[in-house]
Chains A and B, each alone.
Chain A
Amino acid sequence: MSLITPLALLAAAIVGPAIVAMYLLKLRREERTVSSTFLWQRMVRDVEANAPWQKLRRNLLLLLQLLLMLLLVFALARPYLAAQGISGRNLIIIIDHSASMGATDEPPTRLHAARERAYQLIDQLPDGGRATVIAAGGRMEVPAAATSDRRELRRAVERIQLSNGGGSDLSQALTLAAALAAREEDSEVAIISDGNVTLPTNLRVPARVSYFPVGRATENMAVSAIALQPGTTGQTLFVQVTNYGQASATRRLDLYLDGAIFNAYNLTIEAEREQSLIIDLPPQVEVVEARLDGADAMPADDRAFAVSPATEATTVRLVTAGNRFLETGLSLLPRLNVVTVPAEATTFTETVAQVPVTILDGVTPAELPPGNLLFINPLRSTAYFSVTGTIEFPQVRPASGDDPVLRNVSLSEVSVLKAARITPGNWGRVVVNSDGGPLLVVGEREGRRVAVLSFDLHESDLPLQIAFPLLLSNLMNFLAPGSGAEAAQLTPGQPLSRQVDTAITEVRVTRPDGRTVSSRGSEVQIQAGQAIYADTDALGIYTIEELAGDTVVGRHRYAVNLFAPGESRIATQRDLNIPQASGASSTVSRERDSRQEFWRLVALIALIVLLVEWLVYQRNGLAYLRERWRQRAGDRQSPLRS
């Protein structure tokens, strides 16, 4: 323990004698004339004879006052204890609230432990210091910005909730923290996390960074994948369980079909290995839950849900002059009902609900059909794009690797003879590009999903490659969402969107926790033929009900699962490498870095002493009150006795 302003102790040397002197002056008692001191003298002689501690009692007030003074002076000297923590005056607290912080190895959860740590840091904040609270991992939030109000800071920390979606990327938060730290002297960044985070590679934080690791456990098993696919006679369930820990482990996997237990499997998995199960299920099963029995540090990833894909087939209108490749490709896709329309057709009377997707192969009608559209080799400009010519032998160049439309699709071997030179509007993103112009554009405009493939399939070797059915499947998943098994699975935080008919007046979403939200409220929105529900952070089954008037016309289920290996790997990192202003890159905080001041506690004790002193001073009054009370109690009892 040390003192920040030891000179304040000098005050005791001045005030102490002053109090004693005042007390001695005060000892000259108030004079009161009485008829005779004859009786008093006799009595006081008796009293003083048998109470040697009388003198001390008379001085009790003085002693209390001196104690009070000493406490106050001590508080003024600002005593502190050296503690692990922070020392900066401008503190930026980054709290990881990604899914891995929901691990229960620090009871109740790591996030609670992180909050406690943050409270400590806020308490250690020097007077006049300011702090910013950033919640990172998943959605970044800044619940408190540069405030010195400790209560507000504590409230801000308290408000931080676990965010299952979005991963554990600290880049954005650290960039913001670096920017904030650069603005002010004596800044310090505190990261409270389990360390399973993504850090920016080329950022140098112009302040000291302290990392406060949270969590102890390393062992965790998770259901890492689940899928329910229609098979020939029933359905096929695929479940994958991964051991993210560092030791081999055995867990039992329970399967529940529509809430009733179906089977259990004992799985023994080596460290960092996974095991898959493929199970045939009856066709009528709608919801499958896979649950790892027992408990581990992270319960969130021990459960996964799969829903049976929509049983109704989606109708796809194919407007073509004849395309064998396309017809074959589409017929291989499950749950698609392809209606072929001759190329001469110009009017389309069916509604979106009846025919949600139209493929325009080499035709471009003047009046476009409703619903989602796939243009193949468009001949002329439409509202979505303009055709300005043709490209000969375009070089196929996939734009980026992780577009869902190009999942598992390799286009490197594909050659194209001739393609239309199209210029898309700003609604679309170019998925496959070439030197002359985009070859594949997908996007969304006014609630409609549109894809444009700018070359004729007959003028390319694409249909002959393995990439074609995959690309077609991906495109159909994009254009007819809700038709495949994939569509019914969402990651946490991914908005749930579904195309709805104009006849639908209300959409209700039943959340995993049983709460129902409706489009009548503000939580579910219907815009341009799409119902969107964004708050899908909780894991589990979401049920969408479509109502026309008062009748439910459609019910669809979606499963939100935490399939995030980064979150399931819960072993706490002991150090984070973040380049700092000092040149160091280690962020392990050192002992004696911080001063934990406790003058508030001392002041509180002083307040209590003050109260005691007052009570002692008023003890006669208190004794009088007690006497009165006792008398009253006696009065109340006596009638009973008589």
Chain B
Amino acid sequence: MTERTGEPLLESAFLRQLDRLALVLRRPMAGDIQGERRSPRRGSSVEFADFRPYARGDDIRQIDWNLYARAERFYLKLFVAEEELNVHLLVDTSASMDWGTPNKLHYARQLAAAYGYIALANLDRVSVTAFGAGPGELQLPGVRGKRGAVPLFTFLQRLQPGKQGDLARACHRYIQSARTAGPLLLCSDLLDPGWKDALSALASRPFEITVMHILAPQELEPDLEGDLKLVDVESGAPVEISANLDLMRRYKTHLAAWRGEIESFCNGRGIIYVPVDTSVPVEEFVLGRMRRRGVLR
């Protein structure tokens, strides 16, 4: 059910709407090469940033001679550097994501594609990492510009659900390997005992993290009845329940409490938490909810 060949990941009409959107950055982010985004570094744009006393070895071409005439000292005139952004897309492809109707993994792909496309449209660099399938991660090293949309979509299309994922470990490894920080979009259901670990690991570097907490309607309102043995699709660990109305009610309170816990955890670390219900069409979600949430503009 994961491979939907023939069907484009995102509709072209939707892509045209996405063209008008841009990522929201709360602070300048450093990039690798010159681009169109303000960088915390000083560089060679036309926008003035600051003055700095001349030090030996500085490029004398940057000395502000007008200022020297007034102050009889050498000052360098600094400009804001404009660099490209490194947008990180993390997609959880563990088996638990390949579940629910509409499928959570597919939804995650669509979200990642939309987010990545917006970044590409703004000439940013997008790298995708899918974890959960096997011991290592699948990576798309980085594409740039609108031309990069094709490899991005293809990569996402080809993502296969894995068996068992360890969210925390994957995040740790990603933090260690990522070169430059930037906006980071984590698409996961966080159904992992180590979700706290994972999020704090990501927050340990100055990424601008947005967590897409993707849950299927079957998880939000499970339709269970009778004495059941629930089997985890990843670990195979069983849980025996006698599902009745009371238990369902308790499940829902429990779920709400859990989401609340994640949200307050994220707020404490400057992470944007976006709960996602896969029953909401992805177009509506991206154009409406993500903009309202301040992820896009």
What is the interface of chain A, defined by CB distance below 8 A to chain B?
Answer: 27-44, 46-47, 58, 619-620, 623-624, 627
Contacts and interface: CB of A to CB of B under 8 A. Distances in A.
A39 B253 CA distance: 11
B224 A627 contact: no
B147 interface: no
Given A39-B219, A42-B258, A623-B246, 19 more contacts: A29-B227, A31-B230, A31-B231, A35-B96, A35-B189, A35-B191, A36-B189, A40-B239, A41-B239, A42-B254, A43-B250, A46-B254, A47-B247, A619-B244, A620-B225, A620-B245, A623-B245, A624-B245, A627-B245
Contact of B100 (A35, A43, A619, A627): A35
A44 B241 CA distance: 7
Contacts of A46: 250, 254
Nearest to B189: A35
A624 to B, nearest CB: 6
A619 B226 CA distance: 10
Contact of B191 (A28, A39, A627): A39
A39 B256 CA distance: 11
B242 A58 contact: yes
Contacts of B224: 32
Interface of B: 96-97, 99-100, 104, 189, 191-193, 216, 218-219, 222, 224-235, 237-247, 250-251, 254-255, 258
Contacts, number: 96
B100 A37 contact: no
A624 B99 CA distance: 27
Given A39-B251, A40-B239, A43-B254, A34 B232 contact: yes
Contact of B238 (A36, A37, A38, A43): A37
Contact of A39 (B104, B237, B244, B258): B258
A24 B244 CA distance: 21
Nearest to A626: B245
A31 B229 contact: yes
Nearest to B245: A623
Nearest to A40: B239
A620 B193 contact: no
B203 to A, nearest CB: 21
Given A42-B254, A43-B250, A58-B242, A36 B231 contact: no
Nearest to A54: B242
Nearest to B95: A35
Given A43-B254, A627-B245, A36 B228 contact: no
Given A43-B251, A623-B246, A36 B234 contact: yes
Q: Which 5 pairs across A and B sit closest by C-beta, in order of nearness?
A: A36-B191, A35-B99, A29-B229, A37-B232, A35-B96
A34 B231 contact: yes
Contacts of B245: 620, 623-624, 627
B254 A30 contact: no
Nearest to A42: B254
Given A47-B247, A58-B242, A620-B244, A35 B219 contact: yes
B230 A37 contact: yes
A222 B245 CA distance: 75
A35 to B, nearest CB: 4
B218 to A, nearest CB: 8
Contacts of B97: 35
Given A47-B247, A623-B246, A627-B245, A38 B192 contact: yes
